[in-house]
Amino acid sequence: MEVLARPFGEFQTNCYIVDKKIIIDPGIGAFEWIRENVKDPVAIINTHGHFDHIWDDKKVKEYFNIPIYIHKNDAFFLENDQFGFNPPKVKPDFLLNEGNYKIGDFYILIRHFPGHTPGSITVETSKFLFSGDFIFDGSIGRVDFPYSNPEDMKKSIKKFLKIPYDKKMYPGHGFATTIKKAQKFLPMWLEYL
């Protein structure tokens, strides 16, 4: 399973391409890079609805004629910008819940980890976990934005700490890490929230 990664925009938001088929978080200016690196993609998956993760959703969706997946609690972000940056508005095609999904030939586990946004999710394949802005290498997503919730983030961290296995983890910003490495520092954040 191949993962291509590149940061985009002022906030250096990571866009990922999994096996040239699944596009995760096409942010500001990601479209051209995506077009050069995919072959018959099957879906866009947004880890959450913040503008820097969904900016090129509309371009990618329309160019490749593929659906957008996002958690049901974050779908409103795609049509109503909350930060005044005015990303292109687009309607999502599939509203996710926590659970297992088959998208194209891929089996994907979606876990719901609210806190940074109401519909923050992780996207898990057989080998990798994409954590969006829930967890970074050594940090967690901010909880002082509109629709963020520190109490939800605490619950989400406790839930994440129960994952019993390790995988490489790709966050929404910064460098890759692992589940086990994240689990070592996360308890510290429970004290600060």
* pLDDT tens per residue across span 26-64: 999 999 999 999 989 999 999 999 999 999 999 999 999
pLDDT of amino acid 39: 87
DSSP string, 66-126: --EEEEGGGGGGGTS-SSS--PPP---SEEE-SEEEEETTEEEEEEE--SSSTT-EEEE-S
Comparing CA positions, the residue from 6, 1, 55 lying closest to residue 173 is 6
- For 17, 69, 124, the CA distances from 21, given in Å and listed in that order, are 7, 14, 15
Is the pTM for the entire model greater than 0.75?
yes
pLDDT of amino acid 160: 98
pLDDT of amino acid 190: 93
pLDDT of amino acid 83: 83
pLDDT of amino acid 4: 98
Q: How does pLDDT run across 105-152, given as a tens digit for each residue?
A: 999 999 999 999 999 999 999 999 999 999 999 999 999 999 999 999
- Name the pLDDT band for 93 (thresholds 50, 70, 90): very high
pLDDT of amino acid 98: 98
Q: What length is written for the chain?
A: 193
Computed over every residue of the chain, the mean pLDDT equals 96
Question: Amino acid identity, residue 16?
Answer: Y
pLDDT of amino acid 80: 87
pLDDT of amino acid 82: 78
CATH level 3 topology of 3-192: Metallo-beta-lactamase; Chain A (3.60.15)
Q: Rounded to whole angstroms, how far apart are CA atoms 80 and 54?
A: 12
- Name the pLDDT band for 165 (thresholds 50, 70, 90): very high
Mean pLDDT of 19-31: 97
